[in-house]
Amino acid sequence: MTSPVWHPFTQHGLNEPIPHVVRAQGALLHLADGGTLIDAISSWWVTTHGHCHPRIAAAIAAQAEQLDQLIFAGYTHDPAETVARGLIDLAPRGEGQPELRHVFYSDSGSTAVEVALKMALGYWHNLALDGLAKARSRILVLEHSYHGDTIGAMSIGERGVYNAAWQPLLFDVGTVPFPTPVHEQACLDALDAACADKPAAFIVEPLILGAGGMLIYPAWVLREMAAICRRHGVLFIADEVMTGWGRTGTLFACEQAGVVPDIMAVAKGITGGAIPLAATLATAPIFDAHRSTDRARLFYHSSSYTANAIACAAAVANLAIWREEDVLGRTAALAQGIATRLERLAGHPAFANPRQLGTIAAIDLVAADAGYLSDLAPRLRAFFLERGILIRPLGNTIYLMPPYCLDDDQLDHIFLALAAAGDHFG
Ligand code: PLP
């Protein structure tokens, strides 16, 4: 019987293999046919500590028996309070910069970004009600960005074949060129010029653009971007959905630039990747602009499952792991293991542009037809599946973003397969 399931980002007409996973542990997925796959991209960048981490699994089980779900409009529970305090403790800090002090929950990276946009516009809207500023609505974005697939998140992302059908629903944004090497200043100058028109906010993926091609830019550029925004009074939003939770070598990527954003979106690894949860952190001015005795100014956003107690309990366990275990030691060792192997692979004539930030590594396959609509990425995916590896290339860019528990043998196996892909497709 054919499956009724409609998969995301999947062309069912191509009849690509859809592995059926029955169990997972650490970096390993166990298949219904008895095979295994090494999860080299942490199941879309979420399972930071590995699958079914015992501390997180136990927290979920215990919470499911105590309090599962609670309406969060005007009610609260311990796990949500604990996570919010933990996030505030761990959030980026910087001298002379405002602190992230308030936490708004949602359920995915896309919704955390939508909330960030709504907070930014709500801030200006409410200041305007008080006659303290003119309302602002324009959002500035960085070229090649990806922030999710809801309407607002798509609007602020790169436009292309993947959102062409919905262009009429997307709002207009100002696009700042990506700071490619040697052209960093052009990017900063463009941002400076665009800020002069008084946009509401500028949103960035800090240090590395993920789905846009694993494009890395330096910390000093991020620092300058934030400084330009602050100088112009434009809100600076960091989308740490992919970069958060140790992925780039620090808990949050903004730390490497000493930047504290006005608004920060986090998701994915917030629960160690076990269950959906997201949060948008905001500074006091953003919260205070919504806090009043006037019901017209409250923050009109919610979903049924906001701050689901089971998801929050998983996040409590994740925060405990971060507090009590040397997670950054683990990511540093893994990053080193990746670096030595990537350096060797870089000599392969089929590859170009090796790059790495923390435990994210990417390399481009030099191929004739590498466009988004070419069949190269699905063929590569199938090639790696046959070798027991879950990798999902972005066009001709093959990237790794493994769980931090990946061991050396698994890493060797992945890099042997990468070299074989070079031989086969190059
Ligand atoms: N923002 C960034 C930077 C992302 O990488 C992603 C997902 O990959 C999102 C937002 C959207 O997150 P989600 O898929 O959880 O909606």
Q: How are the residues of the chain apportioned to helix, strand and coil, as percentages rounded to the nearest 5?
A: 40, 15, 40
Same-domain pairing of 284 and 397: no
CA dist., res. 103 & res. 277, Å (int): 12
343 CA to centre of ligand 1 in angstroms: 29
Alpha-carbon separation of residue 362 from 99, 213, 215, 336 (angstroms): 33, 9, 9, 14
Q: Is 342 within the bounds of a domain?
A: yes
Gap between the Cα atoms of 19 and 205, Å rounded: 31
For residues 144 and 228, membership in a common domain is answered with yes
For residue 129, the model assigns a pLDDT of: 95
For ligand 1, whether the C-beta of 109 sits within 6 Å is: yes
Residue 261 is assigned to a structural domain of this protein: yes
Domain stop point among 301, 324, 347: 324
Q: Is the domain of 296 the same as that of 383? A: no
Supply the pTM of this predicted model: 0.98
Give 290-313 pLDDT, tens digit per residue: 999 999 999 999 999 999 999 999
**Is residue 141 in contact with ligand 1, taking CB distance under 6 Å?**
no
242 lines ligand 1 (CB under 6 A): yes
Annotated binding site for pyridoxal 5'-phosphate: 109-110, 239, 303-304
* Minimum-distance ligand 1 atom for the alpha carbon of 148: 11
Task: Kindly provide the ipTM of the predicted complex, given to two decimals.
Answer: 0.99
The verdict on 319 and 359 lying in the same domain is: no
Q: Do 135 and 245 fall into the same domain?
A: yes
CA of 44 to the centre of ligand 1 (A): 9
Best mutation site among 47, 241, 252, 275 for ligand 1 pocket (most ligand atoms within 8 Å of CB): 241
Q: How far is CA 102 from CA 129, 264, 269, 290, 301, in A?
A: 22, 10, 19, 12, 15
Which pLDDT does position 116 carry in this prediction? 98
Q: Do residue 207 and residue 80 come from a single domain?
A: yes
Query: Ligand 1: which of 45, 147, 162 to mutate, judged by most atoms within 8 Å of the beta carbon?
Result: 147
Segments forming the whole domain that contains residue 399: 12-52+327-425
Report pLDDT for 367. 77
> Do the domain assignments include residue 5?
no
* 217 shares its domain with 257: yes
Query: How many domains would you assign to the chain?
Result: 2
Same domain assignment for residues 357 and 284: no
Residues 42 and 129 in one domain: no
Determine whether the shortest distance from the Cβ of 267 to ligand 1 is under 6 A.
Answer: yes
CATH code: domain of residue 34: 3.90.1150.10
Q: Does the residue 150 lie in any domain?
A: yes
Task: Identify the residue whose C-alpha is closest to ligand 1 atom 7.
Answer: 148
From 324, 359, 376, the end of a domain falls on 324
Any domain includes 273 = yes
- The span from the CA of 191 to the CA of 238, in Å, is 15
Query: How many C-beta neighbours within 10 Å does residue 305 have?
Result: 18
Quote the ligand 1 centre to 410 CA distance (angstroms): 26
Residue 279 sits in the same domain as residue 400: no
314-351 pLDDT, tens digit each: 999 999 999 999 999 999 999 999 999 999 999 999 99
Question: Among residues 324, 352, 371, which one ends one of the domains?
Answer: 324
Q: Are residues 347 and 334 in the same domain?
A: yes
Domain of 117, CATH number, reads 3.40.640.10
In this predicted structure, what is the pLDDT of residue 252? Answer: 98
Residues of the chain with pLDDT under 70: 368
Ligand 1 centre to CA of 153 (Å) is: 9
Torsion of CA 232, 182, 223, 135, to 10 degrees: 30
Are 184 and 298 members of one domain? yes
